[in-house]
Amino acid sequence: MKIIVDYDRCEANAICMKVCPEVFEVRDDDNLYLSTETPDESLRAKVMEAVRRCPRQAISVKD
C-alpha cells in the first residue's frame, strides 16, 4: 500500500490526522506530512477512512 497525496488539492483540514495520526500530520505551517508513504497493512482500515473522509479528495492509495 502506497499513499499518494495531491498537495495541490490539500487544504490542511487535518481530518486525516484525526482519523490516522500514525501516518498523517498537519503541522503549524498548514502543510501535510506523512510519517511514511508505505504504512503497515495493519493501518489499512484507518488509512482508507482518511482517504474517504478527506473533504478535498486529496489522498489516494495505490496497491
Partner 1 sequence: MQLSDVDLYNAENWVEGVPHEAFRLLREQAPVFWQEVPEADGKGFYAITKYEDLVAISKDPSTYSSWRGSTMIRDLPKEDLENTRTIMLNMDPPQHSKYRKLVSQGFTPRMTAALEPKIRKTTAEILDRVTPLGQCDFVRDIAAELPLIVIAELVGVPLEDRHKVFEWSNKLIGFDDPEFGNTEEVGKLAAAEIWMYANQLAEQRRKDPRDDLVSVLMMGEVDGEKLSEVDFDSFFLLLAVAGNETTRNLISGGMRALLEHPAEWKRLKDDPSLLNPAVEEMLRWVSPVNHFRRTVTRDTELRGQKLREGDKVVIWYPSANRDEDVFPNPMHFDVGRTPNNHVAFGIGEHFCLGANLARLEIRAIFDEVIRRMPDLEFAGPVRRLRSNFINGIKEMPVRFTPSPAVAA
The residue whose grid cell reads 484507518 is: 46
Q: Does 60 bind partner 1 (CB under 8 A)?
A: no
Instruction: Tell me the C-alpha distance between 10 and 60, whole Å.
Output: 12
Q: Does 7 bind partner 1 (CB under 8 A)?
A: no
Q: Does 12 bind partner 1 (CB under 8 A)?
A: yes
Minimum CB distance to partner 1, residue 9 (Å): 7
First to last CA, the chain: 4
Q: Given the rule CB under 8 A, which residues bind partner 1?
A: 8-9, 11-14, 26, 28-30, 53, 55-57
